[in-house]
Each structure stands twice: as C-alpha cells, then as structure tokens.
Amino acid sequence: MRKIAKFLRLRTADQLFLASCLITVGLVRLGLTVLSYRFVRRWLVRATAEESASPGELNRLAWGVGQASRLVPGATCLTQALSGQILLSRLGKASRIRVGVSSSGPGRIEAHAWLVSGDHIVLGGTEKSLQRYNRLAEFGTDA
C-alpha cells in the first residue's frame, strides 16, 4: 500500500515514465525467458540511436529501471541492462551493454551485464565494482 501511495505522490510525467519502465522491464523479462536475447534486442532496440544522453536522462533512466526491476520477478542484470538500452534507444540515445565474467571461487564463474552510455555506467554497478569482471562482449548502438 505504501508503494502505491508513493507512486501517486509522483508528478504525472514521472508516473508515466515509471509505468513505461515497468512495462519494458516486464516485456524484456518475458522475452528473455520465452525467446532469446538476440531476438528481443533485434526487435526492440533502434540501431539508429546515435545521440549522447545527458547525465539527467541517465539518472532518470537508472531510477526508473531500478524501481521497475524491484517489481518484476527475476529481473536480472541482463534484463535491466537491455531494458535500459531499449528505453534509451527509443529516445534516440546511444548505449552499449557490456557482458563480463569473474571467478567466484574454484571452478565457478559469475557473469554480469551492465549498461554504458558515453563514458557513464548507467546500470549494473560502479567503475570500482565492475573492475573484477573480464569483459567478454559489448552490444550497442554506439559501439
């Protein structure tokens, strides 16, 4: 009930943005479960996104996707990064999803995905927290 009250106190523009983030995260989560990353990305990300996003736009996106991901079960780092990339591309803003791996113990590896736009890490961690990952791949509209 508190979440609903908090949502209703937001400005209408923020409510609409948060709703679009929730729909995007939910659809991406469903798409990654039923289809594949390549299929979801090909159909939802605009390849023509070239413009850089402003720090304000990136902060707003991180807030919206972060809030929405708390409500979508199983919204992994890949779900969040792809959702962010889709939302940015719809605004004509360029971004890249980076995927890396790290050893998390003997015989175990941990994979992680994060979203970068320009020189800014948008979703998935900080420069310091991501140093432990060896980058394997990068998928983007400005790569």
Residue 133 has pLDDT above 70, yes or no: yes
Tokens of 132: 């432990």
Region 54-73 average pLDDT? 94
pLDDT of amino acid 61: 96
Cα 120 to Cα 16, 47, 59, 86, 106: the distances in Å are 25, 20, 10, 17, 32
Main-chain phi, psi angles of 59, to 5 degrees: -65, -40
- What 54-61 contacts at long range (C-beta under 8 Å, 24+ apart), as own/partner pairs, is 55/120, 57/88, 57/91, 57/93, 58/117, 58/120, 58/122, 60/17, 61/21, 61/87, 61/88, 61/122, 61/123
Q: Quick check: pTM over 0.75?
A: yes
Per-residue pLDDT reduced to its tens digit, 15-27: 899 999 999 999 9
Q: Note down the domain range covering 84.
A: 2-140
Q: What digits encode the pLDDT tens for the residues 73-124?
A: 999 999 999 999 999 988 889 999 999 999 877 888 899 999 999 889 999 9
As for how many domains the chain has, the answer is: 1
Considering the chain, what percentage of its residues have pLDDT values greater than 90?
A: 58
What strand order describes the sheet that includes 134-140?
A: 120-123, 108-117, 96-105, 134-140
pLDDT averaged over every residue in the chain: 87
Residues with Cβ within 8 Å of residue 128, at least 6 apart in sequence: none
Tokens of 124: 């998935």
What pLDDT is recorded for position 51? 82
Closest CA to 92 of 42, 48, 143: 48
